[in-house]
């Protein structure tokens, strides 16, 4: 299983939000590059970078931070936040991202994202599925979509989508454990997907259980930044 640490960026700094709430922000480091280098030096290969300013502005804001990370490390970076157009995708790739995450746009404009999968290849486009009670949420988790996650993913899988990041909104940032049952059902329904679990990881045992389930990757944020899981423990997984 790939361990994929998260670096969420506001004003060029490494922060974490609780349940996507910008009012519940904790700053962990003034320089995300130093955080990224620590992950790389520990042997971790992947990184999940989210431009939280970009998510609000509907366009990439923290390109310079992304560029500093990709040009000064060998990490495989997937990037999200503000990706609403082909121009934004090109900008992210030019700044060194290996993959982009299509979140709200994958709900609001499915034909466009299906086009991206054709144009850029399924290996480079991650479908972001933010879920509460199996309903897809959008716009920083504030809006319901009326879409069930399983029906939402069917068209994407049929079109050849390979990667999905699934975040249980009700778990994120609370350190209460991941949505094991949801992930098990997704893997059963869509065995071809490379599923990336996100939200709720609190302990090393959580990661071990996800690995045993056969999850492709798990995003780790608050549990690491709050000292619940050490860098050495994260690096002990396959990556």
- Inter-residue contact 100 to 89 (CB < 8 Å): yes
How many CA atoms lie within 13 Å of 30's alpha carbon, on the beta-carbon side? Answer: 0
Cα angle 151, 157, 159; round to 5: 115
Among 108, 73, 191, which residue's Cα sits nearest to residue 83? 108
Residues 234 and 46 sit within 8 Å (Cβ to Cβ): no
Given the residues 8, 168, 172, 206, the one annotated as active site: 8
User: Between 63-72 and 32-41, two packed helices, what is the crossing angle to 10 degrees?
Assistant: 30
Token digits for 226? 């709050």
Q: Is 115 in the active site?
A: no
Active-site residue identified among 51, 53, 78, 130: 130
Of residues 210, 155, 149, the one with CA closest to residue 177: 210
Q: Examine the residue annotation and report whether 8 is marked as an active-site residue of this protein.
A: yes
As annotated, the active-site residues are: 8, 130
């Amino acid at each position: 299983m790939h361990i994929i640490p998260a670096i969420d960026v506001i004003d060029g700094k490494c922060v974490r939000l609780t349940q996507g709430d910008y009012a519940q922000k904790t700053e962990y480091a003034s320089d995300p590059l130093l955080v990224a280098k620590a992950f790389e030096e520990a042997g971790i290969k992947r990184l999940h970078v989210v431009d939280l300013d970009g998510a609000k502005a509907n366009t990439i804001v923290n390109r310079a931070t992304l560029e500093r990370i990709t040009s000064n490390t060998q990490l495989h970076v997937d990037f999200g936040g503000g990706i609403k157009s082909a121009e934004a995708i090109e900008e992210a790739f030019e700044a060194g991202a290996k993959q982009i995450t299509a979140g709200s746009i994958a709900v609001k404009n499915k034909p466009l994202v299906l086009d991206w999968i054709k144009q850029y290849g399924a290996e480079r486009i991650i479908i972001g599925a933010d879920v509460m009670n199996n309903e897809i949420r959008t716009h920083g988790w504030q809006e319901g979509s009326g879409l069930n996650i399983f029906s939402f993913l069917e068209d994407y899988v049929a079109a050849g989508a390979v990667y999905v990041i699934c975040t249980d909104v009700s778990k994120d940032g609370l350190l209460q454990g991941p949505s094991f049952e949801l992930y098990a059902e997704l893997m059963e329904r869509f065995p071809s997907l490379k599923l990336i679990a996100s939200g709720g990881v609190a302990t090393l045992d959580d990661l071990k259980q996800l690995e045993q389930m056969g999850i492709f990757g798990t995003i780790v944020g608050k549990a690491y930044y709050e000292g619940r899981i050490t860098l050495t423990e994260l690096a002990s997984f396959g990556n």
